[in-house]
Amino acid sequence: STLELLGRYYGDYEYDYQKEINYRFNAFMSAAELCGVDAELSAQIYERMVLAYVYITYYGSPYHRYQSYEDIMLLINQWDKYQQQILNTYGAGKYNLSFLKSPLFDFSGIYVGSDNFNLYLKILVAIEYRRLDDFNTYFQEFLDKFPEEYVYNYSIILSVHMHKIGINHILNMFEAIKRKFLNNQDLQNKINVLITDTLLEYGQVDEALEYYNEKNYAADSYIKGILTLSSIHATKEEYERELEILENLLADYNSGNISIPKEVLSDLYNSISVAYSNNKQIDKAIEASKLSIRSHKEFFSDNRVDSFLCNVYNNLAGYYIQNDDYQNAMMLLQECIEYYSKEDGY
Nearest to 56 by CA among 26, 109, 25, 15: 15
For residues 183 and 171, is the Cβ–Cβ distance under 8 A? no
Q: Using one digit for the tens of pLDDT, what is the confidence trace for 307-343?
A: 788 889 899 999 999 999 999 999 888 877 876 665 4
d(CA 68, CA 61): 13
Residue 106 CB: number of other CB atoms within 10 A?
Answer: 13
| Whole-number pLDDT of residue 110 | 65
Whole-Å CA distances, 153 to 149, 156, 180: 8, 6, 15
Nearest to 142 by CA among 103, 181, 171: 181
d(CA 340, CA 334): 10
Q: What is the pLDDT along the chain (346 residues), one digit of tens a residue?
A: 777 677 766 666 566 777 888 888 888 889 888 888 878 888 888 888 887 777 777 655 444 555 788 888 888 888 888 888 887 887 765 545 554 444 445 555 566 656 677 888 888 888 888 898 999 899 888 888 876 666 666 667 777 877 778 888 888 888 888 888 888 887 888 888 888 888 888 889 888 888 887 775 554 567 778 888 899 899 999 999 999 999 999 998 999 888 887 778 999 999 999 999 999 999 999 999 999 988 888 876 655 556 788 889 899 999 999 999 999 999 888 877 876 665 444 3
Give the SS3 label for residue 131.
coil
Phi, psi of 288 (to 5 degrees): -65, -40
In this structure, are strands 106-107 and 110-111 parallel, antiparallel, or unpaired?
antiparallel
| Whole-number pLDDT of residue 346 | 39
Pick left, alpha or beta for residue 127 (phi over 0 → left; psi -120 to 50 → alpha; otherwise beta).
alpha
Contacts of 196 (CB under 8 A, 6+ apart): 208, 211, 212, 215, 225, 228, 232
